[in-house]
Amino acid sequence: MTAKRTDVIVPSLVYRLLHTMPANKPSLRRAGAHIQKGGHRLPAFAARLVQELTLFIYPPTCAGCGQPLHSDRSGPFCPGCLRTLELISEPYCPVCGVPYATEIPNAHLCGDCLAGIHYFDRARSTGSYRGALREVLHRFKYGGRTSLARPLAQMLTAPGKHLARLHKIDRIIPVPLHPKRLRQRGFNQASLLARRLGSALKISVDYASLQRSRWTEPQTGLSRRQRAANVKGAFSLKSNEKVKGKGILVVDDVLTTGETVNQCVRVLKKDGEAREVAVLTVARTVAE
């Protein structure tokens, strides 16, 4: 059974997309729709001209601050926001990826990993959950800017490739949302990222095996202990058929204390008998 796109509620997405279109230029909106519909009939130079004109009138905007990207159309960040990105690089804990403030030989595990609190084999995040990256993730998740899945998933490609090689990844599994949360939001941000990453890495995405079966209150503002108690037993497996003996990459947008993904991985390993499980997120909270 293919479970592709089951986590995306299409009508809500369409509503959100329409809602984010320029409201004061209905004629341009109609023109855009017309070009999209019949674009293949336009001569290449005319299509290019229309594209350039549209870019001139509506230059692409920075995913972080929303300012037009005059000089760099590739985006997703303007030079100002780009400077605020704190990409995570060595030195960091070789298991959970928590960055070290000072030079410590890379082989040293962090306190959490020494205490063995994680079920995953390795976790990586591309940047700190601050500045422009925090802004863009907020716009993506709470502002309904689903088009940001593309640039954000691009940030996951290189570390995803690395983890896929290290752990012989067979499947990507996005952290599932509870059906009630999915109805509220209209989409699962982790699924949108996983779908793009899956096609970039040519690894199949499994949206169906893992489910969020118990409703949990948002984790914001909870202590680590409270977070752990809050998500305990929140996930379960529909079936372990696609998980047993496999290398799994769990994908999410943000890693905070890691309790949510930790519970996912616990289920995948204990109930699903996954061979290895790695975790990849766009951002992670980092202690000041």
For residues 42 and 32, what is the distance between their CA atoms, to the nearest angstrom? 13
Nearer residue to Zn ion within complex by CB, 42 or 95: 95
Q: By CB neighbour count within 10 A (0-12 exposed, 13-18 middle, 19+ buried), where does 132 fall?
A: buried
Is 251 one of the binding residues for Zn ion (CB under 5 A)? Answer: no
- Nearest approach in angstroms of CB 62 to Zn ion is 3
Among residues 13, 35, 42, 95, which is the contact residue for Zn ion, using CB under 5 A? 95
Q: Which of 7, 69, 81, 190 binds Zn ion (CB under 5 A)?
A: 81
Q: Would you give the binding string for Zn ion spanning residues 101-140, x where CB under 5 A is met?
A: ---------x--x---------------------------
Q: Does 286 bind Zn ion (CB under 5 A)?
A: no
Q: Given the rule CB under 5 A, which of 40-48, 92-100, 242-250, 275-283 is the region that contacts Zn ion? A: 92-100
CB nearer Zn ion, residue 62 or residue 268:
62
- Among residues 120 and 187, whose Cβ is nearest to Zn ion? 120
Number of chain positions touching Zn ion (CB under 5 A): 10
Sign for the CA dihedral angle at 126, 132, 134, 135 comes to: negative
Nearest-approach distance from CB 81 to Zn ion, in angstroms: 3
Stretch that binds Zn ion, among 54-62, 122-130, 252-260, 273-281 (CB under 5 A): 54-62
Does position 85 interact with Zn ion (CB under 5 A)? The reply is no
Q: Which of 78, 248, 264, 277 binds Zn ion (CB under 5 A)?
A: 78
Strand 235-237 relative to strand 210-212, pairing = antiparallel
Q: Counting contacts by CB under 5 A, is residue 65 touching Zn ion?
A: yes
Candidate list 93, 149, 251, 267; residue touching Zn ion; CB under 5 A: 93
Residues that bind Zn ion (CB under 5 A): 62, 64-65, 78, 81, 93, 95-96, 110, 113
